[in-house]
Amino acid sequence: MAVIQIDKDICTGCQECTKVCPVYAIEGNPGEAQTLVAERCVMCGQCVQKCKSYVSLIDHGPEMYNKKREERMLPETVREPLFAAHNVSHLAEVIKALGDPSLFTIVQAAPAVRVGIAEDFGLPLGSLASGKMAAGLRRLGFKKVYDTNFSADLTIMEEGTELVKRVTEKGVLPMFTSCCPGWVRYMENNHPELTKHLSSCKSPQQMAGAVFKTYGAKLDGVKGAKVYNVSVMPCTCKTFEAARAEMNSSGWQDIDVVITTRELGYLLKYKGIDLATLPDEEFDMPLGEYTGAGAIFGVTGGVMEAAIRTGYTLITGKELKDVDINAVRGSDGFRRAEIKAGDLTLKVGVVTNLKNIDPVIEQLQAGTLDAHFVEVMTCPEGCISGGGQPKLLSDTDVPEAYQSRRNATYDHDKALPKRKSHESGAIKKIYAEFLEKPNGHKSHELLHTSYKSE
């Protein structure tokens, strides 16, 4: 499916996008419109972030701008420049669903959305807007404002348990994270024989989708068939992930439509809602409850840190005292750490930016990758730098934006009353009432998946 496109009418052939594409999926001669090789593209949207070739009113004329906005199905309220590299928008489907009273619309927003969305409303880079975002989503008319952060905590329960099982029962190691759909696609496309190293856990988005249409529907007293799941993501590849045929374990396609952080901005403006002036509101409970561990999924190393906080308890039966795992923070392309958990020394690695994956894959193929667990995120600093996040007008502001979004994420984690996934009341409740136990039968039905050519 087409997720990322390069508009031939606008592309100047500068090839700046080719420099950021981690999989060399963009081809063409300098000075000519570039072509995206769909089979190779992992849909990370870094080209969308980088591209500055816009519809120029001077060169192309105002008619071209209006034509392109219509072609891309963007609301008339969008006045911002339109660039050659863009993601295919599904906003119109969301607008239609919100106007359909027969649907029970549920929305989730990923951890990184709340540290980006306010930027498009004029607030400083990296402003944390959890409460305003919840309020904004409610004003849009969603029946339930749940949260991907909840299912990030759920992912940790499942993935942590899977890791401990693989370590103690001599399963396939190292285990790689599977939250990032670009990374999963890269593995499936290029190294299908290695997909057994991927965690069988679905990403938080997909876990949420499956839970909202089953357990959530029951809690809300509606039929699963009536639930329409909208997902707001910092990621352009999440649309692809949601559309995968196997992502239907609730009995329906688990996620109905995905929009990006930027598109949520379009939607709020279309409805005349100024996010910057909204009061802080809570997410709906219990599927909007989350801990600091769920919140840090948005930054590189975050999934690993969250997993260690709970994994330590799963391995030792004791609580980890210092939950700030600084060893896995940072932005180096590949960083290693060893965590002492009882008698076990857990060896972990974090890869950020898919451009840094090849040496790690080579070690894996050579059998020299000495690690139990490796996190991989496609985008340069994890989801906060995703292809669907607010786009900077000048790349000179990119480092500040990334740093501010990262700091806001860690500050949010620190300020939350609970910082370990297994401490969440909502997580305890869903296992007690519905899932029974992590990696149990029901979990495997709803929350786990398998990969092509495994």
Partner 1 sequence: MSGEGAFFVLADPEKCTGCRACEVACFAAHQKGVLKTVGTVTTPLIPNLYLTRTETIKMPIQCHHCENAPCLQSCLPGALERKDGSVVVNGKKCIGCRNCALACPFGAIQIIGADILPELGGAAPAFKCDLCPDRENGPACVATCPNEALRVVDTEEELREKRIRSSEAAEAIQGSSKGVQ
Report, as residue numbers or ranges, the catalytic residues. Answer: 159, 162, 179, 199, 238, 241, 246, 383
Query: What residues from 337 to 356 belong to the interface with partner 1 (CB under 8 A)?
Result: none
Q: Please say which residue, 219 or 384, places its beta carbon nearer to partner 1.
A: 384
In the DSSP assignment, the letter for residue 58 is T
| Binding test (CB under 8 A) with partner 1, winner from 5, 13, 333, 355 | 13
Instruction: Output the smallest distance, CB 297 to partner 1, in A.
Output: 22
Residue 319 neighbours by CB under 8 Å, 6+ apart: 312, 313, 420
Q: Please say which residue, 61 or 359, places its beta carbon nearer to partner 1.
A: 61
- Sole residue written with tokens 């679905």: 202
DSSP 284-316: PSSTT---HHHHGGGSTTHHHHHHHHHHHHHHH
Query: What residues from 245 to 264 belong to the interface with partner 1 (CB under 8 A)?
Result: 262
Q: Is 9 in the site for partner 1 (CB under 8 A)?
A: no
Q: Please say which residue, 80 or 188, places its beta carbon nearer to partner 1.
A: 80
Q: Is 234 in the site for partner 1 (CB under 8 A)?
A: no
Q: Is 132 in the site for partner 1 (CB under 8 A)?
A: no
Angle between helices 302-316 and 148-168 (to 10 degrees): 50
Query: Burial code of 346-367, b = ≥16 C-beta within 10 A, e = fewer?
Result: bbbbbbbbbeebeebbebbeee
In the DSSP assignment, the letter for residue 366 is H
Decide: 99 and 89 in contact? Cβ < 8 Å.
no
| Binding test (CB under 8 A) with partner 1, winner from 5, 14, 28, 131 | 14
Q: Is 277 in the site for partner 1 (CB under 8 A)?
A: no
Query: What residues from 395 to 434 belong to the interface with partner 1 (CB under 8 A)?
Result: 395-397, 401
Decide: 65 and 377 in contact? Cβ < 8 Å.
no
Q: Please say which residue, 393 or 415, places its beta carbon nearer to partner 1.
A: 393
Q: Please say which residue, 229 or 409, places its beta carbon nearer to partner 1.
A: 409
Q: How far apart are CA 317 and CA 320, in angstroms?
A: 10
Query: What residues from 370 to 399 belong to the interface with partner 1 (CB under 8 A)?
Result: 390-397
Instruction: Output the smallest distance, CB 55 to partner 1, in A.
Output: 8
Instruction: Output the smallest distance, CB 149 to partner 1, in A.
Output: 23
Token output for 291: 């801990």
Q: Please say which residue, 21 or 447, places its beta carbon nearer to partner 1.
A: 21
Q: Please say which residue, 117 or 242, places its beta carbon nearer to partner 1.
A: 117
Token output for 452: 């092509």
Number of other residues whose CB lies within 10 A of the CB of residue 2? 12
Query: Burial code of 399-408, b = ≥16 C-beta within 10 A, e = fewer?
Result: eebbebbbeb
Token output for 153: 């905590």
Instruction: Output the smallest distance, CB 356 to partner 1, in A.
Output: 20
Instruction: Output the smallest distance, CB 112 to partner 1, in A.
Output: 14
Instruction: Output the smallest distance, CB 99 to partner 1, in A.
Output: 24
Q: How far apart are CA 258 and CA 120, in angstroms?
A: 19
Q: How far apart are CA 447 and CA 318, in angstroms?
A: 26
Query: What residues from 24 to 63 belong to the interface with partner 1 (CB under 8 A)?
Result: 30-31, 52-54, 56-58, 61-62
Instruction: Output the smallest distance, CB 261 to partner 1, in A.
Output: 9
**Residues in touch with partner 1 (CB under 8 A):** 12-16, 19, 30-31, 52-54, 56-58, 61-62, 65, 79-81, 83, 119-122, 124-125, 262, 265-266, 390-397, 401
